[in-house]
Amino acid sequence: MSLFNPAPDTQSAPVSAPLAERMRPRALDEFLGQEHLLGPGKPLRVQIERDDASSMIFWGPPGVGKTTLAKIIAETTKATFIEFSAVLAGIKEIKQVMADAEKAASWGTRTILFIDEIHRFNKAQQDAFLPWVERGSIRLIGATTENPSFEINSALLSRCRVYTLNQLTDEQILALLRRALADPARGLGDQYLTADDGALELLAGYASGDARNGLNALEVAAKLAADGKTLTKAIATEALQQRVLMYDKQGEEHYNLISALHKSVRNSDADAALYWLGRMLKAGEDPLYVARRVVRMAVEDIGLAAPEALNLCLSARDMVDFLGSPEGELALAEAVVYLALAPKSNAIYTAYGAVMADIESTRQEPVPLHLRNAPTRLMKELGYSAGYEYAHDVEGHVADMQCLPESLAGRRWYHPTQEGREKLLAQRMEEIRRIRESKRTRP
């Protein structure tokens, strides 16, 4: 028997199979969620109903039905369904199953090849599919939790339609749990369990949009409630034990969460900043990584409007390094709340970006002679340091001296805001301008 024999028929999942497997939808009418793709007239439903043989990529978080949809498509279109994981297969196995599928096509049999975690294939492995996908020997359906734009090579991606599956809502998970509790053939209906108000809602909320998580938790809770026949909120809590948060330190969700934290700080929302910080740390993120990003926020979004923010964030970083987790995490919480509530300015961030852009786009002017040191007689004879004014020796400690190359004279990059301490810096800049102006007009 080949490794690539068709997967067992889900219509006859054994009673010993996990509840999540037994309750896997068998047809589109049983499928919950993804109305934007599967509602009447929506793109994926139309493609399935028309028996469109195009290859496709399903992109979405765990437990939203990617594998189930692929199996439903195979069942609906009467195609042979072959499933294997990118974690286990190599190029040799890929080419063998492609050859088998091409032979089957010559006999009039259509093959759907479902690749779970397709993003784990390297470029060479992904390229191995191309000839058979182009010839139509197989219909490739890939599933990925990672952004296909980054993880699927462009040649393969251009030959597939990408469908984005959304995380399920608590209401959809709740409906699925109620269905499982009532179904006597595939679910738990033969146990005649009842559920207290709030018990199923608790399980649905803790599933975090993952149907598999919710059904697994319900199965555990049902075993705990077997004697009493009533699933209480206390039993549901015991079944959950420890919430599993969706998080991948190397994946897109990692960047989504740090982006949410940063933007909450920038928008002065202390509560949201605390929430996203907690989400990252609870899911196992390295607190030192978070500390580095918090320091970045201090210089990018707070700047000189509250210059003490940088020191506070550096101190929080040191606390994380010194105390570790969980004690050091309080220092991070203190830092993000302070940053969220601090006056905001990106003037330094903007100014430095503008300076770097001008450095790239203008000629590299030599340093003006009056700004150069003259440690030797030859350098003095060449005019080095000639005309330099020592600011401490002049009135107001501001010399009327140009410190930029002539081609950039008068260029201004830093524009302080009226926020926090930066308002005082704006006033000081205006004072310096007036001092210089008065020296130029003085007879």
* pLDDT > 80? residue 89: no
3-state secondary structure at position 358: helix
* pLDDT > 50? residue 6: no
Q: How far apart are CA 66 and CA 212, in angstroms?
A: 12
Q: Where are the domains of the chain?
A: 10-164, 170-240, 252-341, 365-441
Q: What percent of the chain has pLDDT over 70?
A: 89
- What is the predicted pLDDT for the residue at 3? 36
- Reported pTM: 0.58
- What is the predicted pLDDT for the residue at 352? 92
The counts of H helices and E strands in the chain are 21, 7
- Is the model more confident about 292 or about 90? 292
Q: Do 114 and 97 contact (CB within 8 A), yes or no?
A: no
- What is the predicted pLDDT for the residue at 410? 87
* pLDDT > 70? residue 298: yes
Q: How far apart are CA 374 and CA 382, in angstroms?
A: 9
C-alpha pair distances (Å), 58 with each of 34, 123, 152, 180, 337: 12, 19, 12, 25, 38
* pLDDT > 80? residue 241: no
The stretch 46-57 carries a mean pLDDT of 83
Q: For the chain, give the mean pLDDT.
A: 84
The model's pLDDT over 247-277, given as tens digits with 9 standing for 90+, comes to 455 556 777 888 999 999 999 999 999 999 9
* pLDDT > 70? residue 199: yes
- What is the predicted pLDDT for the residue at 86? 61
* pLDDT > 80? residue 13: no
Q: Do 64 and 166 contact (CB within 8 A), yes or no?
A: yes
Of 96-110, 214-228, 374-388, minimum mean pLDDT range: 96-110
- What is the predicted pLDDT for the residue at 250? 55
Q: How many CA atoms lie within 13 A of 48 on its CB side?
A: 23
- What is the predicted pLDDT for the residue at 105? 66
C-alpha pair distances (Å), 393 with each of 51, 303, 385: 86, 31, 16
Q: How far apart are CA 328 and CA 89, in angstroms?
A: 43
CATH number corresponding to 170-240 = 1.10.8
3-state secondary structure at position 114: strand
Fold annotation for 365-441: post-AAA+ oligomerization domain-like (1.10.3710)
Q: Backbone phi, then psi, for 161, in 5-degree steps? A: -90, 135
The model's pLDDT over 90-101, given as tens digits with 9 standing for 90+, comes to 666 767 777 777
Closest C-alpha to 332, from 315, 307, 344, 345:
315
CATH superfamily of 10-164: P-loop containing nucleotide triphosphate hydrolases (3.40.50.300)
* pLDDT > 90? residue 110: no
Q: How many CA atoms lie within 13 A of 411 on its CB side?
A: 14
- Is the model more confident about 324 or about 94? 324
Fold annotation for 252-341: Zinc Finger, Delta Prime; domain 3 (1.20.272)
432-436-439 Cα angle (round to 5): 145
- Is the model more confident about 73 or about 125? 73
* pLDDT > 50? residue 159: yes
Q: Do 203 and 20 contact (CB within 8 A), yes or no?
A: no
Q: How far apart are CA 313 and CA 306, in angstroms?
A: 12
The stretch 113-124 carries a mean pLDDT of 82
Residue 231 region by backbone torsions, left for phi larger than 0, else alpha for psi between -120 and 50, else beta: beta
